[in-house]
Amino acid sequence: MSESLLKFTKTPQAMPDKRPAAERRADFDEIYAAFQPEKARVQASRCSQCGIPYCQVHCPLQNNIPDWLMLAANERWDEAYFVASATNTFPEICGRICPQDRLCEGNCVIEKDFNAVTIGAVEKHITELAWQNDLIKPFTPRQERSESIGIIGAGPAGLAAAELLRRQGLQVHIYDRYDRAGGLLTYGIPNFKLDKAVVQRRIDLFIASGVQFHYNTEIDAAAFAELRAKHAAVLIAAGVYKARELYVPGVGLGNIVPAMAYLTASNRKGFGDAVPTFDNGALNAQGKQVVVVGGGDTAMDCVRTAIRQGAASVTCLYRRDRENMPGSLREVHHAEEEGVNFAWLSAPEAFMGRQAVEQVRVQKFRLGAVDASGRRAPVAMDQGHENIPADLVIKALGFDADDLPGMFGVPELAVTSLGTLQVDAVGQTNLPGVYAAGDIVRGASLVVWAIKDGRDVAVAMLQGLQQSQVA
Ligand code: FAD
Ligand code: SF4
Ligand code: SF4
């Protein structure tokens, strides 16, 4: 083993420089600066090169983390990139937005006593360096094939599949109802976590590689039938977008809005688009007392967006406590630094106001016994009620699958009891030649899982094509 490793006992954990909260509040730029190369090398050298690397076991892509850390520690940056990109379509994106505290870093064996190796930050650094050094090239195939594949959805699942299929020479067409590619990378996740230029740089690579994007193309029943007739196989990677509702009195008042509408408007503004619902103030938090309901990553994105839009105050209501929230604790920490007020063990009981919301009546909870989710269930407290002022409420309670199979007008497309698409072990639906991947199969999940599913299903689609040609 290289001498430059095992430095975790002497070298403390360090992240790239984080911009001060006061500066972050004033813009939508990413909050971490780039690693200085020497700092990245030193951080990589903290790895103890475990025989059983739990970091790798808990990375959905099974990334070969110890190897790329060893190469980075020895300044073999190019090789480190080739190892990192062998299993991951978007390493610089995962390095930025994976909840590493719940995945690779949360399971690093040195985490308990010495704090984990900063795996995500090194992964981002290695890949950014590869971009700078012009190592990342279009994946134009050596030989073209005549068969074409239709992919519904240009999010991470669809894109990950597209790359592997295009590499094999297939003609890949991606259809998306939006005017830009990226799915939630583009219109969900805010710029301060993932700069849109980072996503666009990848999309440009797909275009240069011959993947054909068809924007503003909503696939409905008729279009779905056309795609099946036109392409050798079809992949549905349409994500999940049906917002979970709040069922409390007053929820129909004005200025109570769903998280995706709010975040999409903000992201569109970031692109410089004209956004009437933002420009008329409806989806703009500036000067407002904002209440966000929910405790997941979407809620964290909403509270931090509202701060940057210049809200007068931002309060997050979550019915469990900090330890039992689904969102990443790292994100909560950033939000607290930026001035978000967290009301733990609290949920809205009613919204009050004349036309638009003016106050939220809040029910306080305590934690009871563990429920089916494995977390302690919130129990309403008899005396625990208070009213807080609000003139914008954002509902961020998670997402369910849209109404499938009605969405594609194909009643025979099988769905699970959760409303997601039913697939077999390799990702094929019950319709021959129709596959599915990402959130539409898994339910609302993570980018890294969408990439994993997209890559896996591409392999199955290639095998399916081969079998149909032999038959
Ligand atoms: P999507 O990214 O949703 O892409 C689906 C695409 O399909 C979209 O472009 C959509 O326009 C298109 N589409 C849908 N229906 C049709 C149709 N009928 N016709 C044509 N096109 C259609 N994960 C993380 O790992 N880290 C994070 O920090 C993180 N933050 C998040 C923040 C927010 C606000 C949200 C909502 C999610 C976040 N996630 C995060 C989750 C992550 O974004 C998703 O798990 C991931 O994007 C799913 O990828 P996908 O390709 O399955 O679907
Ligand atoms: Fe960690 Fe995500 Fe990178 Fe895997 S892809 S090593 S989970 S940051
Ligand atoms: Fe290195 Fe931590 Fe992975 Fe062990 S678990 S190989 S120390 S990154």
* pLDDT at site 409: 77
Rg (the chain; Cα; Å) = 23
- The residues near 7 (Cβ < 8 Å, ≥ 6 apart) are 42, 45, 46
Ligand found nearest the CA of 191: 1
Are 170 and 143 spatial neighbours (Cβ–Cβ below 8 Å)? Answer: no
Q: Identify the CA nearest to 337 among candidates 287, 303, 311.
A: 303
Check whether 113 has a pLDDT greater than 80.
no
**CA triple 461-464-467, angle to 5 deg:** 155
Which whole number is the average pLDDT over 101-113?
87
The atom number, within ligand 1, closest to the CA of 178 reads 11
Instruction: Judge if the beta carbon of residue 446 lies within 6 A of ligand 1.
Output: yes
- The residues near 51 (Cβ < 8 Å, ≥ 6 apart) are none
* pLDDT at site 467: 86
* pLDDT at site 49: 92
The more confident residue out of 410 and 238 is 238
Residue 243, H or E segment: strand 242-243
Which whole number is the average pLDDT over 176-191?
97
Instruction: Judge if the beta carbon of residue 440 lies within 6 A of ligand 3.
Output: no
Burial 329-354 (b: 16+ CB within 10 A, else e): ebbbebbebbebebbbbbbbbebebe
Check whether 336 has a pLDDT greater than 90.
yes
Q: pTM to 2 decimals?
A: 0.95
Ligand found nearest the CA of 108: 3
For ligand 2, residues with CB inside 6 Å are 59, 61, 63, 65, 88, 94-95, 98, 100, 103-104, 119-120, 123, 448
Instruction: Judge if the beta carbon of residue 150 lies within 6 A of ligand 1.
Output: no
Per DSSP, the residues of 330-389 read HHHHHHHHHTPEEETTEEEEEEE-SSB--EEEEEEEEEEEE-TTSSEEEEEEEEEEEEEE
Please give the share of the chain, as a percent, with pLDDT higher than 90: 80
Q: Identify the CA nearest to 327 among candidates 291, 366, 304, 301.
A: 301
Ligand 2 centre and the CA of 119: distance in Å? 7
